[in-house]
Amino acid sequence: MESGTHEHRVSALRKANTARCALRLRDHGAASVAELVQATGLSRPTVEAALSDLAANGLVATNESNGHRGAGRPARVARFVGSAGYVAGVDVGLGGIRVILADLAGTVSARIEQRGELPADASARIEAVRAAISEALRLADVPPRRLLFAHIGVSGLVRDDGRLWVSHTFADWEGVDVGGKLAALLGCPVTLDNDVKLAALAEQRLGAARLVDDMIFFLIGSQISAGLVLDGKLRRGSHNAAGELGQSSIRVPLDERGHILWHSASSAREAFARAADGDADATAEVQTFVEGVADTVIVLSQAIDPDLIVIGGPLSRAGDQLIDPLNEAVAHLASLPFAPMVRASRLGVDSIAFGALSRAFDLCAESVYGVDDVPMPLLRRLDGGDAVDADGENFEW
């Protein structure tokens, strides 16, 4: 019920049809016109028009070479040209920079990880991010012009204008137009987003919560924050601050910066390790910790009624120490005949970069397909395997 003229809406239909054909080719492989007609339910002339538009944009290639068997005129086969464009998902955190580069078809063509301290200077840090993205492009042998979009996950609150508002990690980026500067350097739009939200989205789209529309993701590291995906959509909140659980939300001892206080050890990981080794102090502290987390998990579960709760961060591998007790607590205290399941992250440290990548696909959709709400492609490795590692060793936080 918008106010646009009809001309717009009608041509929106054309765009939608074109996009439908493009997505079919992207997600189900090359196809002849006849097959597309069949698959999309559109008519032949419409499909032909769509293909000719797409071919003009370079997004599909139509070649005759097809090992067709059987009688009949050989079909003209259209193929989605993923390499027409690339998008990057970037995770800039204290531990370093991660970049995942994928083409429009979802083939992951580079995945790099630069460990170690980032430059302390705001500008130098921007340059480091640029260098990391460029390095990924170089590794994948992708001309820089082909990069269509880069999306960056950082810790902190991102304002509507895309600048950081509050960030403990990179305080000197607050108010700075990091995205704009990188856009100028890279020649394509670059946007920032909150890291935990991206990780949540990644787990929902690619990780532990695939096929589930409602989930809460908890990232437990030195702090605890959450990300919500509700009805398949990332919840941002009216200040883009949903999930920023402060001091008072978590029933776990925190210091004044919101970091979890450990007495028996210097980190959650260490405390859990000691508890596993039988250290009594650590065991008690871990138990209190788990109860505190369970508390918050339960309140949010009851308020939000998700299908699934995913725990990320270094502790997510601690099944019997964390995930199992949480599951029990949630199932036990449920006053209703159902309870959400608690599960460990599947993407591990890569979740933020994958989330950024998946948002990058969303954000380039309008310019690539002329339509938004385009589902991202399935991610594949160059060798054809699943781009998401089987639950392996990518959990070194």
Q: Which residues bind DNA (CB under 7 A)?
A: 5-7, 10-11, 13-14, 17, 32-35, 41-46, 48-49, 64, 70-76
**Size (the chain), residues:** 397
Which is nearer to DNA, 65 or 238 (by Cβ)? 65
Q: How far is the CB of 373 from a copy of itself (least distance, A)?
A: 7
Q: Which residue has the tokens 């950024």?
A: 356
User: Residue 252 Cβ, how far from a copy of itself at the closest point, in Å?
Assistant: 13
Minimum distance of DNA from residue 26's CB (angstroms): 18
74 binds, among a copy of itself, DNA, none (CB under 5 to 8 A by kind): DNA
Q: What are phi and psi of 212, to 5 degrees?
A: -115, 135
What does 270 bind: DNA, a copy of itself, none (CB cut-off 5 to 8 Å by kind)? none
In the complex with a copy of itself, which residue's Cβ is closer, 134 or 302? Answer: 302
For residue 196, the SS3 value is helix
Taking every pair of C-alpha atoms in the chain, what is the biggest distance, in angstroms? 78
Nearer to DNA, 17 or 296 (CB): 17
Q: Which does 11 bind (CB under 5 to 8 A by kind): a copy of itself, DNA, none?
A: DNA
CA distance 86 to 144: 9
Nearest distance, CB of residue 363 and DNA, angstroms? 25
Place of tokens 């007609």: 37
Cβ nearer to a copy of itself, comparing 14 with 146: 14
Place of tokens 């699943």: 386
What phi, psi does 337 have (nearest 5°)? -75, 25
What is the smallest separation between the CB atom of 33 and DNA, expressed in angstroms? Answer: 3
CA-closest candidate to residue 26, choices 324, 361, 260, 348: 361
Half-sphere exposure of 88 (CA within 13 A, CB side): 37
How far is it, in rounded angstroms, from Cα 198 to Cα 99? 14
Q: How far is the CB of 1 from a copy of itself (least distance, A)?
A: 6
Q: Which does 235 bind (CB under 5 to 8 A by kind): a copy of itself, DNA, none?
A: a copy of itself
Q: How far is the CB of 298 from a copy of itself (least distance, A)?
A: 5
From the list a copy of itself, DNA, none, which binds 378 (C-beta under 5 to 8 Å, kind-based)?
none
If the CB atoms of residues 266 and 335 are measured against a copy of itself, the closer one turns out to be 335
Applying CB under 8 A, which residues contact a copy of itself? 1, 3-6, 9-10, 13, 16-17, 19-20, 23, 40-43, 46, 157, 165-166, 213-214, 226, 228, 230-231, 233, 235-249, 258, 295-296, 298-300, 302-307, 333-338, 371, 373-375
Look at residue 33 and give the partner it binds from a copy of itself, DNA, none, a contact being a CB closer than 5 to 8 Å depending on partner kind: DNA
Nearest CB to DNA, comparing residues 45 and 385:
45
Exposed/middle/buried for residue 185 (C-beta within 10 Å: 0-12, 13-18, 19+): middle
Query: Closer CB to a copy of itself, residue 3 or residue 266?
Result: 3
**Shortest distance, position 76 Cβ to a copy of itself, whole Å:** 23
Sign (positive/negative) of CA torsion 273, 276, 280, 284? positive
What DSSP assignment string belongs to 292-352?
HHHHHHHHHHHHH--SEEEEESGGGG-IIIIIHHHHHHHHHH-SSS---EEEE-SSGGGHH
State the Cα–Cα distance between residues 222 and 289, nearest whole angstrom.
Answer: 13
Closest distance of CB 242 from a copy of itself, Å: 4
111: which residues sit within 8 A by CB, 6+ positions away? Answer: 98, 99, 100, 101, 136
Closer residue to DNA in complex, CB, 42/250: 42
1 or 71: CB nearest DNA: 71
Give rounded-to-5 percent helix, strand, coil for the chain.
45, 20, 35
Between 294 and 344, CB nearer to a copy of itself = 294
CB of 366 to a copy of itself, least distance (A): 14
Query: Tokens 């339509």 map to which residue?
Result: 371
